[in-house]
Amino acid sequence: MANFKYEIRLPEGTTDTGIVEAPSLAEATSMLRARGGYLLDVSRVGGSGAQNILDKMRSVSIEAGPGLKDVLNFTNQLAVMIKAGINIRNAMDGIAQQVDKPKFRRIIEQIKADVESGRPLSEALAKHPKVFSPLYVNMVRASELSGNFGKMLERISAYIAQQVETRSMVRGAMVYPAIIAFMAVATTIFLLTWVLPRFTDLFSGQEDLLPTPTVMLVRLSDFMRANWYMLTAAAVALAVGFRYGIRTTTGGYYWDVAKLRIPLFSRMFRALYITRSLQTMGELLNAGVPMPETLAITGDVSGNSLYRRMWQSVQRSVTEGDKIVTPLSNQTLLPKSVVQMISAGEESGNLGDVLRDIADFYSRELKDTIKAVTSMIEPLMIILMGLLVGFIAMSIILPIFSMSSLVSQ
């Protein structure tokens, strides 16, 4: 048994702190939740450093945060309950009971408590920016002003569902070549470090008769076997460095530039960023969100540094009194036809509907592009893998044939 310090907010609004005894952090958390209220913090008092680390690791696994699909399910359920005439408080109670992730359940309970205390729902959602995006919060805020909360939730749900589908398609298109590339590298390493050394004894004393490709592979095999730990450490360092680098401002910028220039994938990424940007912009405008705020959110959710900078420049121009199309006409990230349609929508006053139509078109193009990219990558990767394995196999077999011919003579 161990002691755990806790802080909990009671239903009446007061905060209670104390110490509870339990076998583990998970058990302490369950006991405290059973008392009711909102659990603010729980931590082990004393104990060894190793035990504290283990408790933190367990808490991380228990407190897995909600993903986009969790937010989609929450929005769908809330929309159905609101349209059925159930108030937000009871709707939140019902949804919280069905949520599997403890962290998301506590977030919903906190949102309910904030609404009960008199705060608008949009303000309660804004306190959790990692779960509810600025687009989500602003569309809810617009619905609070217009009074069509149920319909707005349906629109938000449709938007999130589209984002989930798009993300799934893009990830699927990226996973297949990654698996093929991994298999090619793994097969090459296996042949060089395990298969090839089995044949080196056959070539002992006959090195001068070996063809150049075989000599190169033998030397590469010897180097890999002798320095495998250095090569492994370098590969891990390269992977970690790349992952860390693209999270920095400079590294992320160059990675975003590269994604728009990589053969085969550049068309897919461009369609993805255009679809995401214009769909977000159209939804916000149709919800009644002001244009400057719409452009700021569009830039944030675009997913690419170059597109973010483009929408930020449009926001500055609109704030100064210019039209949207003015800064867009001098850039190359959007096709000229898209800029022309945006200009027509701005002139006619139906920009939100025009943007939605353009986004639907590019959404279909994105699906077609992903299918085309996948169908092109599959034979290319198979051919590349076949050439690589075939080269290694021939480099092993050719010396055997050469020695057999010498023996027969």
Distance CA 76, CA 331 (A): 38
Domain that holds residue 36: 2-62
Tokens 């962290």: give the residue.
103
Mean pLDDT of 312-322: 90
Query: Would you state the pLDDT for residue 60?
Result: 44
The residue out of 130, 162, 194 marking a domain boundary is 162
Say whether both 151 and 179 belong to one domain: no
Measuring CA to CA, which residue among 140, 162, 163 is closest to residue 153?
A: 140
Cβ burial, residue 172 (10 Å; 0-12/13-18/19+): exposed
Residue 200 — pLDDT band, cuts 50, 70, 90? Answer: confident
H or E segment at 42? strand 38-44
Query: Would you state the pLDDT for residue 49?
Result: 45
Q: Provide the percentage of residues in the chain whose pLDDT is more than 90.
A: 12
Mean pLDDT of 203-216: 75
Which residue pairs from 401-409 have beta carbons closer than 8 angstroms and sit at least 24 positions apart in sequence? 402/209, 402/211, 403/202, 403/206, 403/209, 406/209
Mean pLDDT of 58-82: 76
Residue 260 — pLDDT band, cuts 50, 70, 90? Answer: very high
Measuring CA to CA, which residue among 44, 40, 73, 78 is closest to residue 58?
A: 44
Say whether both 187 and 274 belong to one domain: yes
Mean pLDDT of 173-199: 83
Q: Is 26 a residue whose pLDDT tops 80?
A: no
Distance CA 385, CA 392 (A): 11
The residue out of 42, 62, 82 marking a domain boundary is 62
- Cβ atoms within 10 Å, residue 73: 18
Helix residue spans in 127-211 (DSSP H): 134-146, 149-190, 196-200
Cβ burial, residue 59 (10 Å; 0-12/13-18/19+): middle
DSSP notation for 385-401? HHHHHHHHHHHHHHHHH
Say whether both 194 and 157 belong to one domain: no
Q: Is 155 a residue whose pLDDT tops 70?
A: yes
Q: How many domains does the chain have?
A: 3
Summary mean pLDDT of the chain: 82
Say whether both 289 and 377 belong to one domain: yes
Say whether both 262 and 388 belong to one domain: yes
